[in-house]
Amino acid sequence: MMMRFLCVFVIGILPVLGLSQSTYSFNNSELPIEERVQDLVDRLTVEEKVSLLISTAKAIPRLDIEKYYHGNEALHGVVKGGRFTVFPQAIALSATWNPDLIYKVSTAISDEARAKWNFYNQGKDQKNVYSDMLTFWSPTINMARDPRWGRTPETYGEDPYLTSQIGLSFVKGLQGNDDKYLKVVSTPKHFVANNQEENRFGYNAKISERALREYYFPAYKTLIQEGNAQSIMSAYNAINGVPSTANNWLLNTVLRDEWGFKGYVVSDCGAPTYIEKSHHFVTDKEQAGKAALEAGLDLECGDDIYAKHLLPAYKAGLVSIESIDKAVSRVLRARFKLGVFDPETNNPFTKISPEVIGSKEHQDLALETSRQSIVLLKNERNILPLKSNAITKLAVVGFNANQVVFGDYSGLPVISPISPLQGIIDKVGDKVEVNYVKWKTAARNLNPIEAENLRNDFNDEPGLFAEYFDDKFLEGTPKTRVDKEVNFDPVNQPPDPYTSYRHKSIRWTGHITPNASGAYKIGVNSDDGIRLWLNNELVVDEWHNRGATTDQVPIYMEAGKKYAIKLEYFDNGGDAICQLLWEVPGSTDDLYKEDREAAKNSDYVIAVMGINKTIEKEGKDRTSLQLPEDQVNYLKEMYAINKNMIVVLVAGSSLAINWMDANIPAIVDAWYPGEAGGTAIADVLFGDYNPAGRLPFTFYKSITDLPPMDDYEITNGRTYMYFKGDVLYPFGYGLSYTKFEYSGMKIEKENDVLMLSATIKNIGEFDGDEVVQLYYKIKESTVIRPLKKLIGFKRVSLTKGESKTIQFKVSKKDLRFWNEHNKEWTFEKGKYTFMIGASSKDIRIQKTEKL
């Protein structure tokens, strides 16, 4: 009897000791995943199930389930969790027109993510801090239908086929190629037609089903059916009156029933709240939870509707346990596929070493990707490539000359990133004198307060006393040092142990001592919160989350006197910057004197212009396509002095650079080129790399060429497919230092498949790449059809004098349109013209076939 009691006692305490977990079926890696998922779901209470439907899912200790954060970003490198390789921004990836290269890029990104997860898995505390290294809300495959859209740089451009092919490679590279395990989860976003930032939480996109099927849907369908994407993010907006996050037709009928999607749907952050708050689709938050769950939303990014109101909705009988079980099963299935419930020895991705993060191989890949993305827009007089042995002096000037601009959703680089200026200096060495002049503008004539004008109370050395806290509350024991200047900009600076945490707060104290008497302006450029005291008076109090903002305060100061200053700053994650600036009396009298001298005394002027996240970003659409006026005026002034001018554009979307195109002899579009961008730019300018990037969208001449922003019907003159006017640069456009000849186009038919071929020959003086593009159009149709439509492309490398035959396979399925009357895809008999060329406008050869 005593022995029986002891056996029962021991068995009873095993769960408490955590020893019985291995006996749970869901921990048996030999069982099918569906059986394991069901076993775990059956063991959960309804409260636990609901807790798993929130992106920051809490731990369930009794089942030894750790907390799990869904939601890092990886548009062009891992964003959160440390320092990683920073590749060119997404739009630049698309400008390579090279899916094979993009597969390598996303493979490197997910290798680094897994490597960081593996590293943190060695210590429970570290892993709890960074538990979001396996689920990524990338890529962004919304269509860049209008260049004013602030998130255009995150996309792959205006064409659904190009977006599908680049996105497909990206998803495949992220998720890995193991038959059983996922390397990471990829989440294409935002489903669907999330294409404007004004009223982004509440707008209703009115779109025909044909436009959805032909333009807005294809990339998602491809990434699900061919890429096996394991997650999809729903959008803030409504489609034809129904919020995307509560849209049964989108999330169940199309996504799951038609396309066979087996993964889970996560909301854009806070989107379930807007079902009731902004769209007024329901009357309360419990009803919002019901609408979202029944429509097929599985996971909430946020802590409102599912976190607080789904359980009450269940208890009130509004939602069923079956609906909850279905959602939690979908979410858990992805975690099982990641292998988080399995022994590490089973999973091949647990063997990826942290040594890959920022490795030489990945740095080289970032450089090659940047090179392949750069588009040569103009090269009059063959001014490019430059020959350094024929140059004595070179002026490098402009808004972005000494900036490293990564674009939105960017991480911190492992290495010191290379600016265009640095790339040029590294390229020419001591053979050429480089005259660099800092950018100044009447629009904001604020410059950094230099060390000679700053003192601290601890050692009276130049600079301010700095206290770095590892939280955003100025609490705990800080690391301290003297900063020569206040220029906290971790993205654009070398790795710094004082800035290793994403969430940080900093306090600088000391004195300002001006060299001259007069009326000054003290400015602080910051992203997130600041407080500024001058002479012990609080003059700026902006202690809250916000985007990049410059605050200015006027103050009269006398030469040689000390003026006390205290500046406090916190970073809430994401973008991080805090810079202490001033405007000195008389500094606006002649802004460009130094620039004019540099231009006058140089053989060539390289002006690095463009825009940045202050103009285009999430939450902010552009109101103009023009380059900022101060930059255009500056270029005109410099060009009047030196006609040998090359403009390098650093931007994430198209610009109406009409004056520049008419006057400047050479223009290069470098996008937001990543950590090695400066080196890539210099390689192109000096001929060590022959540019072959191609535009993934149209450059329009004027904003008046565009339909209203809220017009989602693509047939109303949008994109190269339906716009009939003159453009500045067409979709698919890009020049080379060499020339290519197209010939020998053939079409062979076999049942419903066409095999098209053409021969491409390099007839120029340089080795180079050509992006061969295939378009089609139908002569007559019962509906409005595209002027031409991309259905194939290949990037091919050709040495001087070399030729290659390129083949394309086209099915009749590729030539169909969506018949709204019959609700089906329809192929029309008729005369189809197939066009092969170097851009959507530069068609070199074509043939017409009756099909």
- List active site positions: 268, 616
Burial tier of 373 (Cβ tally within 10 Å: 0-12, 13-18, 19+): buried
Q: How long a stretch of residues is the chain? A: 851
Six token digits for residue 451: 């060390």
**CA pair distance 682, 385, nearest whole angstrom:** 10
Task: Look at residue 317 and give its three-state secondary structure.
Answer: coil
**Cβ-based neighbours of 704, under 8 Å, separated by 6 or more:** none
**Cβ-based neighbours of 2, under 8 Å, separated by 6 or more:** none
**CA pair distance 28, 343, nearest whole angstrom:** 10
Q: Find the largest Cα–Cα distance for the chain.
A: 104
Six token digits for residue 462: 């130049």
**Range list of H helices, 56-200:** 90-95, 99-120, 124-129, 160-175
**Range list of H helices, 615-706:** 629-641, 658-663, 677-685
**Cβ-based neighbours of 204, under 8 Å, separated by 6 or more:** 237, 238, 239, 240, 241, 279
Rg of the chain taking only CA atoms, in angstroms: 29
Six token digits for residue 113: 């993510």
699-721 burial, b at 16+ Cβ within 10 Å, e below that, comes to bbbeeebbbebebbbbbeebbbb
Token look-up 């090179």 returns 371
State the amino acid at position 394 in one-letter form: L
With contact defined as beta carbons under 8 Å apart, do 675 and 371 qualify? no
Which is it for the CA torsion 29, 19, 135, 269, positive or negative? positive
**CA pair distance 245, 271, nearest whole angstrom:** 7
**CA pair distance 378, 361, nearest whole angstrom:** 32
Phi, psi of 715 (to 5 degrees): -70, -10
